[in-house]
Amino acid sequence: MKLELKEFEAKMTKSITSYEAELKVIRAGQANAAVLDRINVDYYGTPTAVNQLANITTPDPRTLVIAPWEANLLKEIEKAINASDIGINPANDGKVIRLAFPVPTEERRKELAKSVDKYAEEVKVALRNIRRDANDKCKEMKKNGEMTEDEQKASEKNVQDLTDKYVKKADEIADAKKKEIMSL
């Protein structure tokens, strides 16, 4: 009886998906509404995402325009953006909020590339932890007599192949993001 890899592959896929979401938030000089995903506004006592309270548009590659559906939310959204860590000052003209994304300097691009590497290493650690859990399950199944030693070795090899595949995918995603950052 071989180890079922679907459970572990699902966990690895989830780790990669989470990693891609983290990278979308990295502000690389282009307007991206994903930077607002983690910003919540107090809406009648309930923390609510900005994209649920306003229309967010990108009139040009370096500007986001936030048009709240209720005019009284302008100040609240502005306050939430200022309190966040996105590093952009909102410009409130009384009807909409504009976020101007500056072109990053060479130094800033290097910092962004380092943060991409940091996130890549974190996802690789998560993938290796999933591999360890799968290998522990193989050893437990062998100990309980549910699989032979040959099946254990084959299962561990399959787990390693799966881990290598996802680590390579994480590296490819990181390289693409760093290339995007450095091309600005």
Q: What is the pLDDT of residues 76-105, one digit of tens each?
A: 888 888 888 777 888 888 888 998 887 778
Predicted pLDDT at 92? 87
**Amino acid at site 26:** I
Secondary structure element (H or E) that encloses residue 91, with its range:
strand 91-92
Residue 123 contacts residue 55 (beta carbons within 8 Å)? no
Structural domain boundaries in the chain? 6-24+105-182, 30-100
Alpha-carbon distance of 76 to 23, in angstroms, equals 27
The rounded percent of the chain whose pLDDT value lies above 90 is 33
Radius of gyration, alpha carbons of the chain: 22
Tell me: the pLDDT tens digits for 4-42? 888 999 999 999 999 988 887 776 667 778 778 888 888
User: Residues with Cβ < 8 Å from 71, sequence gap 6 or more?
Assistant: 95
From the list 77, 87, 89, the residue with the least C-alpha distance to 40 is: 77
Q: What is the third-level CATH fold of 6-24+105-182?
A: Topoisomerase I; Chain A, domain 4 (1.10.132)
Q: Supply the pTM of this predicted model.
A: 0.72
**Which residues share a beta bridge with 12?**
none
Considering the four listed CATH numbers 3.10.129.10, 3.40.50.1000, 3.30.1360.40, 3.40.50.300, the one that applies to the domain covering 30-100 is: 3.30.1360.40
